[in-house]
Amino acid sequence: MFYWFMKYVVIGPVLKAIFRPWIVGRGNIPATGAAILASNHLSVSDSVFLPLMIDRPMSFLAKSDYFTGTGISGWATRFFMRATGQIPIDRSGGKASEASLNTGLGVLGRGDLLGIYPEGTRSPDGKLYRGRTGLARMALEARVPVIPVVMVDTGKIMPIGRSIPRVGRVGMVIGEPLDFSRFRGMESDRYILRSVTDEIMVALQRLGEQQYDDVYASTVKERRSL
């Protein structure tokens, strides 16, 4: 009830009036049943505009830092994240990664939509980067389709480092579902996971025509910080 109230009464109408978001391919999202929406990641606002523009509720796995801030700004961020259906996860690796996987599988097990950014972090420069294989493992274990999603111009209104968005128009393109049932039972094979992940990234690149760089976005960020 809280999610729908925020989407249709409090947050949604204001954001639609200011940013006039558009969407192509909405019909590619199934009316029922679990699915993963795999999106490129240009801005923190991606996790807001995509749920706003589709008819079904969905959840994103968001880094836990967004939920641990202090003071008024920390409270506001935490409130906003929960209002838009985001779930905190620890991305430090090891057991935390396993816990994140189980959290995502729980969402899919309920027959819901789960949003994932296969790059693992926001693009530092607008390029599309190499995908992490956790997405593939989740899709194969849950036996659900993966729907590619391309966010458009969200990085222009709210680039990395900016806390207040600029006014501008944003959009999203929803591609056709990808079926990986041919790999059923092979979720422990790292070569299969890499193959599935690369297929998803190719679909995203073709859908959005972003320049692709076959390295991890996190590696690029680390190099730039040196």
Tell me the pLDDT tens digit for each residue of 181-191: 999 999 999 99
Q: Cα–Cα distance between 134 and 156 in angstroms, integer?
A: 28
Look at the chain and count its residues. Answer: 226
Name every residue whose Cβ is closer than 8 Å to that of residue 101 and which is 6 or more positions away in sequence: 134, 137, 138, 141
Please choose, from the candidates 57, 38, 30, 62, the residue with its C-alpha nearest in 3D space to the C-alpha of residue 139: 38
Q: Looking at the DSSP assignment, which residues form a beta bridge with residue 35?
A: 113
Q: Cα–Cα distance between 66 and 81 in angstroms, integer?
A: 7
Handedness of CA 41, 42, 47, 52 (dihedral sign): negative
State the Cα angle at 124 between 220 and 44, rounded to 5°.
135
Does the predicted TM-score (pTM) go above 0.85? Answer: yes
> For the chain, what is the total number of helices (H) and then of strands (E)?
9, 9
Model pLDDT, residue 162? 83
Model pLDDT, residue 103? 86
pLDDT interval class at 125 (50, 70, 90):
very high
**C-alpha torsion 218→219→225→226, nearest 10:** 160
In eight-state DSSP terms, residue 178 is: B
Share of the chain above pLDDT 70, in %: 85
Whose structure tokens read 């960020």?
A: 221
pLDDT 10s digits, 54-106: 999 898 877 666 666 677 656 766 676 676 667 777 665 556 667 778 888 99
Cβ(115)–Cβ(59) below 8 Å: yes
Whose structure tokens read 């935490």?
A: 78
Average pLDDT, the chain: 88
Burial state string for 196-213 with b = 16 or more CB within 10 A and e = fewer than 16: bbebbbebbbebbebeee
Q: Cα–Cα distance between 62 and 217 in angstroms, integer?
A: 17
Please choose, from the candidates 129, 138, 134, 158, the residue with its C-alpha nearest in 3D space to the C-alpha of residue 48: 158
Please choose, from the candidates 185, 126, 174, the residue with its C-alpha nearest in 3D space to the C-alpha of residue 150: 174
Share of the chain above pLDDT 90, in %: 62
